[in-house]
């Protein structure tokens, strides 16, 4: 790999536009889903909630991390 840096630079997941949108608006969206979206899109699948919660924790070192030595 030409020009590759041997130093690991962790990403800051909180800088992602998607992370910001979900972090700031997801709970409100979920609270109003039944009355505003269920008729058109169907019931709110609990898998969606699980995936969003896991995504929001991704990259947060408090939630844990893996270390690789070479």
Q: Which residues span the domain enclosing 18? A: 13-60
pLDDT average, residue stretch 8-31: 89
Number of domains in the chain: 1
pLDDT at 26: 96
Classify residue 2: in a domain, yes or no. no
pLDDT given for residue 5 in this prediction: 63
- Answer yes or no: is 3 within a domain: no
State pLDDT tens for residues 21-60: 999 999 999 999 999 999 999 999 999 999 999 999 887 7
Tell me if 44 is assigned to some domain. Answer: yes
Residue 30 forms part of a structural domain: yes
In sequence order, what DSSP letters do the residues of 16-66 get, joined into one string? Answer: SHHHHHHHHHHHHHHHHHHHHTHHHH-S--HHHHHHHHHHHHTT-GGG---
> Quick check: is 69 in a domain?
no
Degrees, nearest 5: CA angle 36-37-42: 140
Cβ-in-10-Å burial (0-12, 13-18, 19+) of 58 comes to exposed
């Amino acid at each position: 790999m030409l020009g590759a840096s041997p130093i690991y630079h962790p990403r800051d997941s909180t800088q992602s536009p998607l992370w910001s949108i979900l972090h700031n608006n997801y709970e409100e969206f979920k609270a109003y889903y039944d009355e505003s979206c269920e008729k058109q899109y169907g019931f709110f699948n609990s898998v969606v909630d699980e995936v969003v919660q896991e995504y929001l924790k991704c990259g947060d070192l408090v939630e844990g991390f893996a270390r690789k030595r070479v």
